[in-house]
Amino acid sequence: MNPETLSAPMPQTLVIASRESRLAMWQAEHVQAALHKLYPSCDIKIAGMTTRGDQILDRTLSKVGGKGLFVKELENALADAHADLAVHSLKDVPMDLPDGFALAAILPREDPRDAFVSNHHDSLAALPAGRIVGTSSLRREAMIRARHPHLDVRPLRGNLDTRLAKLDRGDYAAIILAAAGLKRLGLGARIRALLEPDDSLPAAGQGALGIEIRADRADVAAWLAPLHDPQTAAAVEAERMVSRALGGSCSVPLAAYAQWRDGELQLRASIATPDASRVLRAQRSARVADTAAAIELGREVSQALIGQGALDIVRALADAAGAGAEPNTPPGAR
């Protein structure tokens, strides 16, 4: 879409709300640069802020409120008109936005895979028994336990630089991170191996950036429209539908990944217990012409998982969370 064709007047000023981590600021600056190309005369500022997800580092996200901790302050800035748009890593965005907010644009996706990062080992398979692997994700934790039960998986919180620092000082033998963040910050050399989806199915939205606005800001939606990538959006919306149908959150080891193959959208999903004693998988492909069809594909895959007993896993995890326990997690791994 050419910006000259937009019915709304060209923007004079825009404020982007962003977390203050180095990766989040890169993402905001990436959107800022893209908007500058569209609207060279527009004054585009970035308002950095610290979220509760950035402040609470001594507990796993599933214990302190989940993904919403990374977006609430940014949404407050939108609601109070202190910002016009907020840039998020889509895997950090809750499946259902609060009333009054909308995803206005989804940008082309970076590498969606997980990355193995270690200073002394080439792969998970090469790690000796008992070595400590860090991850912030129950999904990755379940994957490691399923394929490499000899390893000691422990929580890893903090921004990207903090996690790498913990690895470098020897707290972990290896850590698993999203490849997209490392590549965006020019840290691709830290990746010792990329984990293919067959081995580590990505999280819904992993590698994709989303731009959130107030739902009543039709002018901002029009200005952002040229940044929207329909193919990425279809894939991500299919993934997010699976997570939405299964109550996907940080407390559920859930993966969903869609990719285009020969004109069809192929969607794979899995859900597991944290110790990986039970892993359910489903897959479907369809020709998808729009977002509605992608969402329907996500609904079909989620129903296939539900037919295998996925909701039993979700309920058990919810009950354990309410009781303050972590079900099926070996001692010493918490």
Identity of the residue numbered 163 = R
Q: Which of 58, 80, 84, 92 is catalytic?
A: 92
Distance between CA atoms of residues 257 and 268, nearest Å: 5
Residue-wise pLDDT tens digits, 83-128: 999 999 999 898 889 999 999 999 999 999 999 999 999 999 999 9
Residue 92 is a catalytic residue: yes
H helical segments located in the chain: 22-38, 52-55, 61-64, 72-79, 138-147, 160-168, 179-184, 218-224, 230-245, 291-307, 310-322
Question: Hey, what CATH topology would domain 114-201 get?
Answer: D-Maltodextrin-Binding Protein; domain 2 (3.40.190)
Whether the CB-CB separation of 55 and 46 falls below 8 Å is answered with no
CB count within 10 Å of CB 80 equals 8
By DSSP bridging, strand 209-214 and strand 101-106 are antiparallel
Whether the CB-CB separation of 255 and 302 falls below 8 Å is answered with no
34 backbone dihedrals φ, ψ, rounded to 5° = -65, -40
Distance between CA atoms of residues 127 and 26, nearest Å: 32
Domain boundaries, the chain: 11-107+208-228, 114-201, 230-325
Residue 50 structure tokens: 């610290």
Three-class DSSP category at 154: strand
Question: Hey, what CATH topology would domain 11-107+208-228 get?
Answer: D-Maltodextrin-Binding Protein; domain 2 (3.40.190)
Residue 305 structure tokens: 């998982």
Whether the CB-CB separation of 171 and 134 falls below 8 Å is answered with yes
Q: What is the pLDDT of residue 334?
A: 29
Residue-wise pLDDT tens digits, 316-327: 988 876 665 444
Q: Are both 114-201 and 230-325 of the same fold?
A: no
Read off the pTM.
Answer: 0.87
Class of domain 230-325: alpha beta
Distance between CA atoms of residues 217 and 231, nearest Å: 24
Q: What is the pLDDT of residue 163?
A: 96
% of the chain with per-residue pLDDT over 70: 87
Label residue 57 by pLDDT band (50, 70, 90): very low
